């Protein structure tokens, strides 16, 4: 078989495409963790957290104080599974779950109800205060 320019070009194109696909599959979890951590920082601005909680969620690096990568991935995978039922962004849902469970002492279904109920993020802090008072007040 004669090696021609077409054969070489096809081999190089296949190698490049294979490398790109492998890279995206190999870094999928890292990219998901990064997106969720960014959303944690983003949502914390809207939640009117106290100074200690704000410091712990100020940026993606600071969120490592409240939750490890494994916990972020578990929340993200749960959010991906729940995406079909709730029609919510898995990154935003996972970030909300982590904030609710780790900082506010609420559960993941409170996070789902919050994101399904709100029309915009301006309503987030008052709604969360309402949920917390309902959970803490005796029936």
Instruction: Give this prediction's pTM.
Output: 0.77
- Number of domain units in the chain: 1
- Residue 8: inside a domain, yes or no? no
- Residue 47: inside a domain, yes or no? yes
Tell me what pLDDT residue 121 has. Answer: 79
- Residue 18: inside a domain, yes or no? no
What's the whole-number mean pLDDT along residues 1-24? 85
CB 107 within 8 A of CB 100: yes
Reply yes or no on whether the pLDDT at 65 is more than 90: no
- Residue 4: inside a domain, yes or no? no
What's the whole-number mean pLDDT along residues 90-108? 88
Q: Which long-range contacts (CB under 8 A, 24 or more apart) does 61-67 make?
A: 63/37, 64/37, 66/98, 66/102, 66/103, 67/40, 67/98, 67/102
Task: Identify the band that residue 107 occupies on the pLDDT scale cut at 50, 70 and 90.
Answer: confident
Task: Identify the band that residue 58 occupies on the pLDDT scale cut at 50, 70 and 90.
Answer: confident
CB 53 within 8 A of CB 104: no
What's the whole-number mean pLDDT along residues 3-12? 85
What's the whole-number mean pLDDT along residues 56-74? 85
CB 69 within 8 A of CB 50: no
- Residue 109: inside a domain, yes or no? yes
- Residue 14: inside a domain, yes or no? no
- Residue 59: inside a domain, yes or no? yes
What's the whole-number mean pLDDT along residues 64-83? 89
Task: Report the percent of the chain where pLDDT is more than 90.
Answer: 19
Range of the domain at 50: 29-136
At 73 the three-state DSSP class reads helix
- Please give the mean pLDDT across all residues of the chain: 85
Task: Identify the band that residue 114 occupies on the pLDDT scale cut at 50, 70 and 90.
Answer: confident
What's the whole-number mean pLDDT along residues 8-26? 87
């Amino acid at each position: 078989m004669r090696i021609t320019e077409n054969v070489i070009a096809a081999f190089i194109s296949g190698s490049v495409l294979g490398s790109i696909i492998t890279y995206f599959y190999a870094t999928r979890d890292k990219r998901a963790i990064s997106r969720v951590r960014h959303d944690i920082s983003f949502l914390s601005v809207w939640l009117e957290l106290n100074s200690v909680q704000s410091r712990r969620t100020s940026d993606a690096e600071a969120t490592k104080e409240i939750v490890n990568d494994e916990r972020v991935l578990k929340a993200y995978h749960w959010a991906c599974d729940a995406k079909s039922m709730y029609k919510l962004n898995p990154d935003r849902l996972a970030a909300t779950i982590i904030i609710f469970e780790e900082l506010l002492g609420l559960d993941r279904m409170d996070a789902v109800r919050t994101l399904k109920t709100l029309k915009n993020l301006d309503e987030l802090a008052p709604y969360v205060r309402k949920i917390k008072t309902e959970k803490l007040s005796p029936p």
